[in-house]
Amino acid sequence: MNFKNSTAERSTITRDTIKMEKETGNIYESIVAMSKRSNQISVELKEELTSKLQEFASSTDNLEEIFENREQIEISKFYEKLPKPVAMAMQELLEDKIYVRKPEEKQ
């Protein structure tokens, strides 16, 4: 998933709960759906960051190499500036990009 183009807010804003419950019909089910999607996003981001930082890992690090690795610092700063996974999940819910499935309601 490409999180670089996320339109989610990077700071806290007030949300309309009526819009959030539109998909499920219940605000609590919407919160659970956002929570699960947020966990998925968080795991994906962590795996992506870890794989990028593995390129810089070495078994013989000395103090100078740690402080002078600008590329690693830039990658870390980029991921710190991304919107939080919860904000991304909220935005996806509001844009109807999250599919909510209820296994107890089989047809």
What residues does each domain of the chain span? 17-94
Sign of CA pseudo-dihedral 40, 93, 81, 7? positive
- DSSP assignment of 67-93: HH-HHHHHHHHHHHHSPPHHHHHHHHH
| Type of residue found at 7 | T
Q: Whole-model pTM? A: 0.77
Kindly report the number of other CB atoms within 10 A of residue 96's CB atom: 9
What does the pLDDT profile of the chain (107 residues) look like in tens digits?
Answer: 566 667 777 777 888 888 888 878 889 999 999 999 999 999 999 998 888 888 776 656 566 555 667 788 888 888 888 898 998 998 888 888 888 777 777 65
